[in-house]
Amino acid sequence: MTARTAILIAITCASIALLGGKIVAQQSAKPLTNDDVLTMVNKKMPESVIISAIKSSPANFDTSTGELVRLNAAGVTESELNAMLAATHQVTSIAQPTAGSSGTSDAASESKSRMPKVIVNQGKSSQELKLEKTQLVQTKSKPSSMKSLAADSTVSQAMQAGINTASWDAATHMNSVAGGTTALQAGSIVSGLLAHRTPTVTYVWGVPSPSSGNVLQNASPVFSVDFSRAPGVNPDDYEPAIVKLTPAQNTCRIVGATQGKADSSGSPAADWEVYSHYLEDQVAVNPQKLGQGKYKVAAASALLPGEYGLVLRPVSKSKRFSGGDVERAQGDGLMFDAIWTFRISDDAQ
């Protein structure tokens, strides 16, 4: 054996030993838990550092609804929660590969499966409806009727300008538990008011575009609704409902409205009773509860041709929301902002 060969063998052995040591160290590293993340948050560590630690360390997180609520209330940010969910999905996909797969799965599918889901049944056929997000805009007009809101040019212009479906679509296909939203102030709401006063405005929920792409030929569709795994909420706080949508100046469809302080939508405090005086055009339904967060819903009578939406509404009218959650469509705000639109055709049977 030449001296050169001996040196090469020694270098190779040393490299293998070093690599093996790193592998052993990684395998023996203690997985991060919920409390570990909470400890880092309490130590005021930067969010970017905490997320990096979550991504680079083994994970043993509890991402149940109760734990997500507890962590969020204790100061864990949405981005940190998303990183924990993504890490949990990665561990699950490696440990439990699906049949016919190579042991990996699409984390987007895992994340999306936690979103509320609606399937419409028409006789022998069925289809999953796409989860949409209502737009939130403000106006000075009082919510006297759905018709008056639809005639308010301020609402329709703001709704049209605030179309932001791209970010919502991206959020429901990525490792995010919630999509972004655009809360626009339509017009100069606070002009002429004293600076120390907070004016009352009308918050209007609507859906961009004048009509739904889901055209149903059955006037008595049956909906299967599942929001049992929605992140950060108690499923027992909600039940599904069907509302008639009001087209507005061929630009959007109005879902509902309520009055509140001009700064309500940005408040982090859970003190906004959004639904206590909410104006909407609900359809009488026959809901059948199948389990926690699982329902089968049908209208009490055949639906007339027009635009409709299946929504999730609080069981208690006095339920309080964080305006920030409603504005960002996260947690309870996600539930209230979510909608599945459909149109009953003129010749529906």
pLDDT at 241 over 90: yes
Looking at every residue in the chain, the average pLDDT score rounds to 78
Helix (H/G/I), strand (E/B), else coil: 155: helix
pLDDT of residue 183: 34
Q: What angle do CA 80, 82, 84 make, to 5 degrees?
A: 70
Residue 3 inside a domain? The answer is no
Q: Do 81 and 221 have their domain in common?
A: no
CA angle 303-306-307, nearest 5°?
A: 105
**Do 84 and 190 reside in the same domain of the chain?**
no
Summarize pLDDT for 105-118 with one digit per residue, the tens.
443 444 456 889 99
The lowest-confidence range among 32-36, 48-52, 168-172, 293-297 is 168-172
Domain of 207 in residue numbering reads as 117-344
Nearest 10 degrees: CA dihedral of 254, 258, 262, 265? Answer: -80
Check if the beta carbon of residue 160 is closer than 8 Å to that of residue 170. Answer: no
- Asked if 63 and 175 sit in the same domain, the reply is no
Number of domains in the chain: 2
Whether residue 53 is found in the same domain as residue 125: no
Q: Do 307 and 190 have their domain in common?
A: yes
What is the per-residue pLDDT for 309? Answer: 97
| 284 assigned to some structural domain | yes
Q: How far is CA 227 from CA 200, 272, 311, in A?
A: 33, 22, 11
Same domain as 240, residue 188:
yes
Describe the chain by its helix, strand, coil percentages, rounded to 5.
35, 25, 40
